Amino acid sequence: MTSELDLIRPDWPAPDRVRAASTTRLGGVSQPPWHSLNLGIHVQDDSQHVTVNRSRLAGELALEQGAFGWLSQVHGTDLVTLPVDGIPEADASTTTQAGQVCAILTADCLPVLLCDRAGTQVAAAHAGWRGLCAGILEQVIASFAAPAADIIAWLGPAIGPRQFEVGPEVRDAFMVTDARAAEAFSASGARPGHFMADIYCLARQRLEKAGVTAVYGGDLCTASDPQRFYSYRRDGQTGRMATLIWLEP
C-alpha cells in the first residue's frame, strides 16, 4: 500500500491565489474495501483511518484540518457559504474568505469547481445526476458576485459515458428542461430501453446555458480505473475521494 498521495491538479487558467486539487484512492491507511485514501466518514470505514487520511491530506496541502468545509451531501441543491458551523446538509459550498476549503466527496458523481477570473470567490458542487438535473450548478453560479461570463469551471473525476447506464426516467428528467440533453444520451447496447449517459456533457450544457462558457476537465472516468479511483457503481461498498478549492491570502 502506497503512502504517497496521488493528487490531481486541475489544468485550468485559474488566478494564482485560487488553489484546487482532487484526490484519488492512493496514499491512505484504510483497509479493503475502502483502501486506501478514503475521506468519507459515512461509508462504514474505521473512523480512525478516515481521521488519519484527512490529516495526511491536510498536511500534503499545507492546510489546517479545521479549514475543510465538509458537507453532508444529499443529492440536492442547497448551497452554504463558508465558514459555517458543523457539517451542514448541502451539496455545494462557496467562500470569499482565504483559507476556507470548499470540499466535495464523490465516488462516481461529478465534482465541479468554480472560481471567478478575479480570484475573489470559489465554489465546489456535488453534481450527481439528480442534483445536476435539479439545478445545483445554477444555484452555485447565482451565488457569485461576478457575472457568469467571468466564471470558469473544472469538471473532476466522475463516471464516464461508456460506464453510466441509466433508465429512461433519467433522460426524460433532463429533456423536460432542455431538449439539447438528448445529445448526452445514447442507446444502451446491453439493456433495451436504457441509455448511456454523459454526465460531463450534461454539466457543460447546464453551465453554458447559465453563461459559463470557460469549462475545463471532464476526461477522467472513475468506473473504468479501479487502481486510481473509487466507484460506487462498480464496487458498491467503497470509499470517497475529495475535490477541493480554496483561496490563498
Residue 75 forms part of a structural domain: yes
Share of the chain above pLDDT 90, in %: 96
Mean pLDDT score, 129-143: 98
Cis amide bond preceding 83, omega within 30: yes
Instruction: Calculate mean pLDDT across residues 117-121.
Output: 98
Q: Is residue 73 part of a domain?
A: yes
Q: What was the pLDDT predicted at 178?
A: 93
Of 76, 70, 71, 120, the closest CA to residue 95 belongs to 120
Q: How many domains does the chain have?
A: 1
pLDDT of res. 210: 98
Tens digits of per-residue pLDDT, 19-50?
A: 999 999 999 999 999 999 999 999 999 999 99
**pLDDT of 3 above 70:** no
Residue 199 forms part of a structural domain = no
In this prediction, residues 218-247 reach a mean pLDDT of: 97
> What is the DSSP annotation of 163-223?
T-EE-HHHHHHHHHH-GGGGGGEEE-SSSTT-EEE-HHHHHHHHHHHTT--EEEE---BST
Would the pLDDT of 196 be above 90? yes
Q: Is residue 242, in this structure, part of any structural domain at all?
A: yes
Handedness of CA 214, 6, 107, 159 (dihedral sign): positive
pLDDT range class, residue 189, cuts 50, 70, 90? confident
The burial class, CB within 10 Å (0-12 / 13-18 / 19+), for 178 is middle
Q: Would residue 123 count as lying in a domain? A: yes
In-domain check, residue 96: yes
Residue 25 covered by a domain: yes
Q: Residue 125: give its domain's CATH number.
A: 3.60.140.10
Q: Check residue 1 and give its pLDDT.
A: 39
Give 63's DSSP letter: -
Which domain range does residue 107 map to?
7-142+153-163+216-247
For residue 71, being part of any structural domain is answered with yes
- Region 184-190: what's the mean pLDDT? 94
Q: Is the CB of residue 119 less than 8 Å from the CB of residue 14?
A: yes
This prediction's pTM: 0.96
